[in-house]
Amino acid sequence: METIFFRKTFPPGTFLLTGSGVQWHAVFSKGYDELYLSYRVRFSDGFSNKDLHGKLPGLSGGKSNGGGYLPDGTDGWSARFMFHGTDINFYLYYPDLFRHFGDSLPIPEKKYYGAGPLLNAGFILKPNVWYTVTQRVVLNTPGKSNGLVEGFINGKKCAQQTGIRFRDVSDLTIDRIYFANFLGGSGKKTSSLEHICFDDFFVYTYKPDKKGSAKT
């Protein structure tokens, strides 16, 4: 699946979905146990302000739990991204949440690959530059906590979280993109007109390179 260029505008004073955020689901024709999502993203100059926090798209399944709706192992899960200025990290809803409103990596007391909690640990995204963000999700075997998420920027692996229990039943799969782009739930309102641009959304069953070509 591929999409064309999309620009999200945040007027001054924007905050949360009611303040000019967008949210929808792109549902697949079937479900998967492992999948890659890749897209390009570009932040405008104002996002050099680390007080601007918000959400970015990711893979999900079932009800795509979010907004404080805790998964029970049978209804849904989600693996979006969260940004703090131009730093981004994973933002998960899964049955073993440590926090009511989603967990940001690293999950406490679980193995984490990377220099810190940010997906781009040691690699700061620059405003007005296009980056390819890729996510890999592998669902757990029901009854085990062996799921994982991986993050790549421009084809370079930057983070991995293992030992995740996304589900307790096999018919809960990866079956959609959870497109969420808004400011909040923490952070501050925008003080100027800002934009986040998206392009080239792809979903793969194999590992893509940074240009979107297949790597077997």
> What's CA 118's distance to the chain center, in Å?
12
CB count within 10 Å of CB 13 equals: 11
- Give the total number of structural domains in the chain: 1
DSSP-derived pairing of the beta strands 34-43 and 131-138: antiparallel
- pLDDT for residue 119: 46
- pLDDT for residue 114: 42
Is 17 part of a structural domain of the chain? yes
For the chain, how far is it from start to end, CA to CA, in angstroms? 18
Is 87 part of a structural domain of the chain? yes
Is 213 part of a structural domain of the chain? no
Is 30 part of a structural domain of the chain? yes
Distance in angstroms (rounded) separating the CA atoms of residues 206 and 131: 20
CATH code of 80's domain: 2.60.120.200
Distance in angstroms (rounded) separating the CA atoms of residues 133 and 92: 16
Is 136 part of a structural domain of the chain? yes
Is 94 part of a structural domain of the chain? yes
pTM higher than 0.85: no
- Count Cα atoms within 13 angstroms, Cβ side, for 76: 18
Per-residue pLDDT tens digits of the chain, which is 216 residues long: 445 555 556 555 554 445 556 677 899 999 999 999 999 988 887 665 556 667 789 999 999 888 778 899 999 999 988 776 666 778 899 998 877 777 776 544 444 444 344 444 444 677 888 989 899 999 999 999 999 999 888 888 888 888 999 999 999 999 999 987 666 554 455 556 677 888 999 999 987 765 544 432
Is 216 part of a structural domain of the chain? no
Write out the residue range of the structural domain in which residue 91 sits: 6-208
Residue bearing tokens 């399944």: 61
Is 147 part of a structural domain of the chain? yes
Supply angle C-alpha 64, 126, 159, rounded to 5: 50
